[in-house]
Amino acid sequence: MALRLCCAWIPILLLLPGLLDGGKLLVVPMVGSHWLSMKDVVEELSQRGHEVVVLVPEVTWLIETTQNYKVVTHPVSQPLEELDNVFREYVALHLTEKPFPLNALAMYNASVHVFSTFFGQCKDLFRSQETLRFLNQSGFDAILTDPLFMCGTILAHHLSLPFAYFMRGFPCDLHFSAPQSPSPLSYIPRLFSFNSDRMTFFQRVENALISLLELDYCNGYYAEALKLSSEVLQRDVSLTDLVNSAAVWILRFDFVFEYPRPVMPNMVFVGGINCAKGKPLPKAYEEPSKPVIKGKE
Ligand SMILES: *[C@@H]1O[C@H](CO)[C@@H](O)[C@H](O)[C@H]1NC(C)=O
Ligand SMILES: *[C@@H]1O[C@H](CO)[C@@H](O)[C@H](O)[C@H]1NC(C)=O
């Protein structure tokens, strides 16, 4: 009975003016292929009546202006060559072969280097009082961000705005551990273990060891982000503090790519949105699935 009463109200609430108005959304994207995945969503949000502002560093790759959303840039100190070089080194490393554990260590080292270089742009954002003042005065309702480089998250805390994540994944399983999704080690293979969800006893031990390492390597990876957060927010901040208050986690994968696992109710899977634009299905495949509505022909 109570349920029926509550649900009867929903259509009435939706009809009230105001509630259906678009919101004012600040988008803090990540460069490169991540942006190519996010762009269509941002355009769609704008077409559905939301006022969208995309915040980008003055020097970056591949974020073009369109009529669909406004782009606001902030000053940065690094030249484009520096970003190009660090990324080139990162790619080159993926193409060299090294035995375990040297490969893992080199990969970690290179990832830290890429992160700290790109994070320089975030430090520049927080040095630009003019940009911060503009963002604070713009009265945004929320922030949508690809959080891998953490800048959008820090900004959301700084401006006290609710934030939604649009992402593929954090290192260290942070996207599951921070919101406290259960992660039983016997059933959920850790990233880089290359195990499946059916593990032998020794694979489970390996899984447990990797998860112990995960506790710490993200603190190293995100050391600069944690330092900046503490300065900006003027308190000690942990990675969990930073990310666990995300309002919604929109995850760009699904169980087809990963393994079944329990997740929190504010995690939404949108597998299939990816940087490579899918071609439309050949006509022959599309026709049979057309819904046939009787009496409406
Ligand atoms: C780590 O990366 C830095 C910068 O790219 C490089 O100078 C250093 O040699 C690397 N160290 C290891 C152990 O790979
Ligand atoms: C944003 O502006 C409001 C009102 O003008 C002010 O109270 C608040 O401290 C500002 N926040 C930041 C982070 O500057």
Per-residue model confidence (pLDDT) at position 20: 53
267 compared with 3, residue with greater pLDDT: 267
The Cα angle at residue 40 between residues 35 and 43, in degrees rounded to 5? 110
pLDDT in tens, 242-256: 999 999 999 998 887
Nearest protein CA to atom 6 of ligand 2, as residue: 136
CB distance 46 to 68 below 8 Å: yes
Q: Is the CB of 168 under 6 A from ligand 1?
A: no
Fold of 2-286: Rossmann fold (3.40.50)
Copy the structure tokens of residue 294.
């009787």
Token pair 């990675």: residue: 239
Q: Which atom of ligand 2 is nearest to the CA of 160?
A: 13
| Residue in 113, 115, 117, 118 to alter for ligand 1 test, most ligand atoms within 8 A of Cβ | 113
Question: Among the ranges 76-85, 123-132, 192-201, 248-257, which has the highest mean pLDDT value?
Answer: 123-132
Band (pLDDT 50/70/90 cuts) for residue 290 is low
Give the mean pLDDT of 256-285. Answer: 83
Poorest-pLDDT segment among 113-122, 208-217, 227-236: 208-217
User: pLDDT > 90: what percent of the chain?
Assistant: 54
Tell me the backbone φ, ψ of residue 241, rounded to 5 degrees: -55, -45
Dihedral-angle region of residue 61 (phi above 0 means left; psi in -120 to 50 means alpha; beta otherwise): beta
pTM, to two decimals: 0.84
pLDDT in tens, 25-56: 999 998 877 888 898 899 999 999 999 999 99
Distance (angstroms) between ligand 1 centre and the Cα of 98 equals: 14
CA dist 275 and 271 (Å) reads 12
In 3-state terms, what secondary structure has residue 208? helix
Q: Which atom of ligand 2 is nearest to the CA of 158?
A: 13
Poorest-pLDDT segment among 32-36, 94-98, 105-109, 180-184: 32-36
pLDDT in tens, 116-127: 999 999 999 999
Band (pLDDT 50/70/90 cuts) for residue 5 is very low
User: Using CA atoms in the order 260, 143, 61, 268, what is the torsion angle rounded to 10 degrees?
Assistant: 10
Has residue 295 got a pLDDT over 70? no
CA dist 219 and 238 (Å) reads 8
